[in-house]
A = this chain, B = another copy of it.
Amino acid sequence: MAIMKPRTLSGFMELLPAPARQMERMMEILRESYALYGFTPLDTPVIEASEILLAKAGGETEKQIYRFTKGDTDLSLRFDLTVPLAKYVALHYNELTFPFRRYQIGKVYRGERAQRGRFREFYQADIDIIGDGQLDILNEAEIPSIIYRTFTALGLERFRICVNDRKILNGFYAMEGLTEKSGDIMRTVDKLAKIGPEKVRQILQEDLGLTAAQAEEILTFISITGSSQAVLAALEGYRGRNELFDEGLTELSVVVNYLSAFGVPEENFAVDLTIARGLDYYTGTVYETVLLDHPEIGSICSGGRYDNLAEYYTEKKLPGVGISIGLTRLFYVLSEQGLLSEAPAPADALVLPMTADLSPAISAATALRAAGIRAQVYAEQKKFKQKMAYADKQDIPFVLLLGEDEIGAGKVSLKDMRTGQQELLALGEATGRILQAIGQAEAVPPIRN
């Protein structure tokens, strides 16, 4: 038979077993965190009718789409989880209870130019809260708490959730008579950290044609930093000049003032007036999340408030707020930077039968599983050394040996693979030891600090 050389497409992440277990553990933590805030796990098709998926799209996105026909149907693979959500909410509107909270962890597809760290198939982990006609600001205020809890559960400590409010920005630019140029200005200001204030001033004046006074006003505005309360106080100085600005400031104050009740420490949070999030789509609070020791990674969790989720599919006004984690890219970057903890083992215990009758070993494994221990029985015809190597290579922390002596004594030999120590114990005792070690292992989060 002709052999076909196996390969995986470039731009498609395919993990080896140990990193696959790390990834699964991260997903499990995301599912748990999102569920704690009352989000429902949703799953929508990967394939949609092209006319539905592309109702809004255009430009770059459209070029990247995986689009094809099957029979005479024009189909596309989803390129994000937001458009399918919009379709879902519009389609099932009458059967949903609002505010509707859903999370979705799913694969999306973009035919980007293949390069290291860029993926054509990747997981997004999204949460959204959708209101029917209106949505209270408290939902926006809750988002930092969800981000905080999720990343803390993943093991991160040194990260910061940065928020801004598009109403404050839009109101401010209106005050300055710069509404028409506000898009270009925001894109420029967004580069502040990268290019510095003088370069920003230069672009504002030379490229965008602002006066020196206007540029100065903008630089003064975006240099408002410090504690959240200090930023709010400084912003109060602008109050009364523009209605939208005032509304945004009131909202931002709500977000800041409930942080502590939501359990978000001040050091993990900042108001950052340079954040705009590119999309015109956002209309209120916007979010970014940065790793303090790895700012080069960029935002690892972003999103914001929008006024109209599904305007392409329904005349109903469906405001919402949502955030997204680019999970595949985050996993890739954490892995590249050596920021992932040791992968979980595939099993907690390997049971090695040392007699012809395997029943005692199988019964021991059955008992371990009943106690919640992930156990494998190893019965391959190999030398003892190779059997131990099977456990060793996969970092299985315990080996249970069941030979004539152990069976005769009604006990098991428990070998702790980390210490090399071996003890003759009752199965119940061995179970207790293993459960204790599992508890310790589970306390180690997937991301190192």
Binding site for B on A (CB under 8 A): 1, 3-9, 12-17, 20-21, 23-24, 31, 35-49, 51-52, 55, 66, 68-71, 73, 75, 87-88, 90-92, 95-97, 99-102, 107, 109, 111, 121, 131, 134-136, 138-139, 142, 145, 149, 258, 261-263, 310-315, 346-347, 358-360, 362-363, 366, 369-370, 372-377, 379-381, 390, 393-394
Contacts and interface: CB of A to CB of B under 8 A. Distances in A.
B359 A134 contact: no
Contact of A346 (B101, B312, B393): B101
Nearest to A129: B376
A46 B47 CA distance: 11
A97 B393 contact: yes
Contacts of A15: 42-43
Top 3 A-B pairs ranked by shortest CB distance?
A68-B68, A38-B347, A38-B376
A49 B17 contact: no
A18 to B, nearest CB: 8
Nearest to A313: B6
Given A358-B138, A363-B261, A369-B149, A38 B375 contact: yes
Contact of A4 (B52, B377, B380): B52
Contacts of A23: 43
A46 B46 contact: yes
A92 B3 CA distance: 16
Given A20-B42, A47-B109, A138-B362, 19 more contacts: A6-B87, A7-B49, A8-B45, A12-B47, A14-B88, A17-B97, A21-B41, A23-B43, A38-B374, A38-B375, A39-B346, A68-B68, A71-B111, A97-B390, A99-B380, A101-B376, A131-B380, A142-B377, A258-B362
Contact of A43 (B20, B49, B88, B375): B20
Contacts of A7: 49, 52, 87, 91
27 contacts: A1-B312, A4-B55, A4-B313, A6-B88, A6-B91, A8-B91, A9-B45, A9-B47, A9-B73, A14-B43, A14-B45, A16-B92, A16-B96, A17-B42, A20-B40, A21-B40, A36-B373, A37-B374, A38-B346, A38-B375, A46-B46, A66-B70, A68-B69, A71-B111, A99-B380, A138-B358, A139-B379
Nearest to A88: B14
B346 A95 contact: no
Contacts of A121: 45-47
B91 A136 contact: no
A293 to B, nearest CB: 27
A306 to B, nearest CB: 15
A48 B8 contact: yes
Contact of A107 (B46, B52, B92): B46
A37 B142 contact: no
Nearest to A107: B46
A9 B101 contact: no
A90 B45 contact: no
Contacts of A100: 17
B96 A17 contact: yes
A380 B142 CA distance: 13
A76 to B, nearest CB: 10
Contact of A24 (B41, B261, B313): B41
Contacts of A363: 261
Contacts of A261: 358-360, 362-363, 366
Nearest to A104: B20
A371 to B, nearest CB: 10
A348 to B, nearest CB: 9
Contacts of A99: 380
A138 B353 CA distance: 11
A43 B102 CA distance: 23
A351 to B, nearest CB: 10
